[in-house]
Amino acid sequence: MKASKLLKFVGVGMVFSSFLFACSHKDSDVKTIGVLQYMEHGALDAAYEGFIAGLAEEGYIEGENIKIDLKNAQGDLTTAQTIANQYVSDGVDMMFAIATQAVQSAYNATKEIPILMTAVTDPVEAGVVKDWNQSGTNVTGTSDLTPVAKQMELITELVPEAKTVGVIYTTSEINSEVQVKMAEEAASNLGLEVIRVGVTTVNDIPQAVASVIDKVDAMYAPTDNLIASSMPVLWNVCLDKKVPIVAGVDTMVIDGGIATEGIDYYQLGYETGLMAAQVLEGKDPSTMPINTLQNTTLIVNQKNAEAIGLSIPDSILKGAEIVGGE
């Protein structure tokens, strides 16, 4: 009897140990991705949604074989760095950084954990990769470099008599400084004068824009995170003076612009998700290029145009996607 009980005990123990091993093995197969989004606005939110869809397309499903830990820095650089440091302490398998400040924080925190990025205008200028063709670091992903020259040309098509354009941007955002320089170059080629309108917080926008609004024929708002999240504020000032805004991305047009020739941030995130799957499968991010989207879409907010008495030429409307509702 004692021998029989002992065998039963050993048998139960082996079954229990096998169960623990199986559970442990299953848990180890679940990869944790720490997602650091710099702030909330439509473009960055769409990029996150696209990223999840891209992963799913390659068989990486949240709750099955990956765990997503999403945190938002709410536009605060110190908070972004704290979140990135915490992900390193937690031992995540990968970071996904949305926006330039987010990937800079992630790269400051680790040079070992793979980092996928998106919504970063110039990752070389930002100091997180060495080359567009082969990152040379633990960072890879996609850039949201938009066709700034096309967007400036769009201003001349919407406002043929335009001579001066105000370019609003956040002075602390490297991605914005890059786009402002591109806008100045494009404007020069088009015979336009650019007035820089630099701000540091959303509270600066009304006064900064008011100081130049009577000197400009149009405003240009690049894919700047602070400006993108504050488009209704910018629009209110421009609406009063009936000054059109050409923006860097479709969500900014919806929130207060007139038009853009821009990229799809959902698709941008989706492409990053596909790249993330490759890294999860063992590909070295340092050998991967930084990808951009080649296809752009012409977006027009007809409601906003009518609100400032701007007639959109038929040549633009024919090929445009109309947003903004009734």
Average pLDDT, the chain: 92
Letter for the amino acid at 302? Q
For the chain, the 3-state helix, strand and coil shares in percent, each to the nearest 5, are: 45, 20, 30
Protein fold of 30-144+264-292 = Rossmann fold (3.40.50)
Contacts of 263 (CB under 8 A, 6+ apart): 144, 146, 249, 293, 295, 296, 297
Tell me what pLDDT residue 29 has. 86
CA distance 263 to 293: 7
Q: Is residue 12's pLDDT more than 60?
A: no
Mean pLDDT over 200-229 rounds to 96
pLDDT of residue 74: 96
Are both 30-144+264-292 and 148-262+297-323 of the same fold? yes
Q: Is 273 exposed, middle or buried (0-12, 13-18, 19+ CB in 10 A)?
A: buried
CA distances in angstroms from 134 to 102, 128, 130, 140, 291, listed in the order given: 21, 12, 7, 9, 10
How many other CB atoms are there within 10 angstroms of residue 153's CB atom?
Answer: 18
Residue-wise pLDDT tens digits, 138-182: 999 999 999 999 999 999 999 999 999 999 999 998 999 999 999
State residue 264's pLDDT score: 94
Render pLDDT for 41-96 as a digit per residue (tens, 0 to 9): 999 999 999 999 999 999 999 999 999 999 999 999 999 999 999 999 999 999 99
- Which is higher by pLDDT, 77 or 28? 77
Task: Give the pairing of strands 66-72 and 94-98.
Answer: unpaired
Q: Report the b/e string of 211-248 with b at 16+ CB within 10 A.
A: ebbeebbbbbbbbbbbbbbbbebbbebbbeeebbbbbb
Distance CA 300, CA 260 (A): 7
Instruction: Kindly tell me the sign of the dihedral angle through the C-alpha atoms of 46, 126, 110, 141.
Output: positive
The one-letter amino acid code at 290 reads I
The residue ranges of every structural domain in the chain are 30-144+264-292, 148-262+297-323
Q: Is the pTM of this model over 0.75?
A: yes
pLDDT for the residue numbered 18: 44
Q: What mean pLDDT do residues 272-299 have?
A: 97
Mean pLDDT in residue range 258-287: 97
pLDDT > 90? residue 183? yes
> What are the tens digits of pLDDT across the range 197-211?
999 999 999 999 999
Per-residue pLDDT at 24 exceeds 50:
no
Q: In the chain, pLDDT over 90 holds for what percent of residues?
A: 89
Dihedral sign from CA coordinates of 230, 161, 179, 271: positive
**Which range has the worst mean pLDDT, 116-120, 172-176, 258-262?**
172-176
Q: Where are the alpha helices (DSSP H) in the chain?
A: 2-28, 42-57, 77-90, 100-109, 148-158, 174-189, 205-210, 225-228, 231-241, 250-256, 265-280, 302-307, 314-317
Question: Which residues on neighbouring strands pair with residue 259, listed in sequence order?
Answer: 246, 300
Q: What is the mean pLDDT of residues 182-195?
A: 98
Tens of pLDDT along 300-326? 999 999 999 999 999 999 989 999 865
Q: Which residues contact 89 (CB under 8 A, 6 or more apart)?
A: none
Neighbours of 149 (CB within 10 A): 16
Which pLDDT value is given to residue 324?
80
Residue 184: its pLDDT value, please? 98
For residues 259-288, average pLDDT:
97
Q: What is the rounded CA–CA span in Å between residue 140 and residue 290?
A: 6
Q: What is the pLDDT of residues 172-182, one digit of tens each?
A: 989 999 999 99
Identify the CATH assignment for 148-262+297-323 out of 3.40.50.300, 3.40.50.720, 3.40.50.2300, 3.20.20.70: 3.40.50.2300
